[in-house]
Amino acid sequence: MATDYYAVLGVQRDASQDEIKKAFRRLARELHPDVNPDPKTQERFKEINTAYEVLSDPQKKQVYDLGGDPASGAAGGGAGGFGGGFGNFSDIMDAFFGTAAQRGPRSRTRRGQDAMIRLDIDLDESAFGTTKDIQVDTAVVCNTCSGEGAAPGTSAQTCDMCRGRGEVSQVTRSFLGQVMTSRPCPQCQGFGTVVPTPCPECAGDGRIRSRRSLTVKIPAGVDNGTRIQLAGEGEVGPGGGPAGDLYVEIHENAHPTFQRRGDDLHCTVTIPMTAAALGTKVPLETLDGMEDIDIRPGTQSGQSVPLHERGVTHLRGGGRGQLIVHVEVTTPSKLEPEQEELLRRLAKLRGEERPTGQFQPGQQGLFSRLKDAFNGR
């Protein structure tokens, strides 16, 4: 046996096809004439081409293992250019880029794009969940051609330029020999078929735009920006391909009383100082109905009253947030003579006619902070 092709590629005789291919890729990158133009390297490059041509073909490999040489008499011609040593253009792509070039016509049917719409809901709907009917404008399958793209009574025909292959090939000569390149067919755009008479309804696209109604179930606990996915309710793809998904983005309308922070609700109730001192009950319309808020005697301005399980339902997990009522105590700015007399008597009884007050460090104003910054404090 004149040449040991296994030794040329540096593999064992029991090497698998994957091992043979990996060895060929590695050597092809190292010895390619564009990388290493040395004449000796070019001869070595021809040898690995011939070795790979034999060992990568199961029939030729079997003949070689039995003692024959399938490349004898054709080794020189096979190694003279890409047309022989590599077998075809996909071998070149596979060697240098790790993957074979995609061949054949591409499908006219493709998946559609996803779509998204915004849905405005009220606070109570997001807190407890609801069901909404929405209108969406998306691409749907053309009823006239059922997604085929051809006018009724006609059909797509095989492209006469590429004969259904979806690509055309061109052979050029280079210093390495003949090189065959392929590109999408310009007549059928790579589909392999042409539509002589497009559907008049969809202009051959296989889909049209239409408005349709959908029912969306809104789970309890959604918030601003929450997106609900409706699988298969988006845009139908070209050629009547499968539809994408529809995403419904939630926008929660502002509430006149409550402000939402996570799953908790906040509101502020203003009461006079007498009610804060003596205590009282304030009616409040919550999401669950009317309730009395218990203001305990001696409540100070800024204190809060939490109501458990009166907030928004947790989106994941059970339970609800809190409703937190913030108390703001107002002081009267104008008193009637009798009211003033009563307050003076109360102040005397409490020994508060001349209170000394309790002073604590306060926050600096903007101009004070600027002054300290310029003075280097």
Q: Give the residue numbers of the binding site for Zn(2+).
A: 142, 145, 159, 162, 185, 188, 199, 202
Closest CA to 177 of 3, 45, 317, 274: 45
Residues 29, 37: Cα–Cα separation, whole Å: 13
- Total length of the chain: 377
Closest CA to 141 of 105, 106, 112, 107: 112
Closest CA to 11 of 47, 52, 41: 52
The one-letter code for the residue type at 100 is A
Annotated binding-site positions? 142, 145, 159, 162, 185, 188, 199, 202
Spatial contact of 309 and 291, defined as CB atoms under 8 Å apart? no
The one-letter code for the residue type at 95 is A
Residues near 234 by beta carbon (within 8 Å), at least 6 away in sequence: 112, 113, 114, 115, 138, 243, 244, 245, 246
Ordered DSSP codes for 194-257: E-SSB-TTTTTSSEEEEEEEEEEEE-TT--TT-EEEETT-SPPBGGGBPP--EEEEEEEPPPSS
Half-sphere exposure of 343 (CA within 13 A, CB side): 12
Residues near 277 by beta carbon (within 8 Å), at least 6 away in sequence: 297, 298
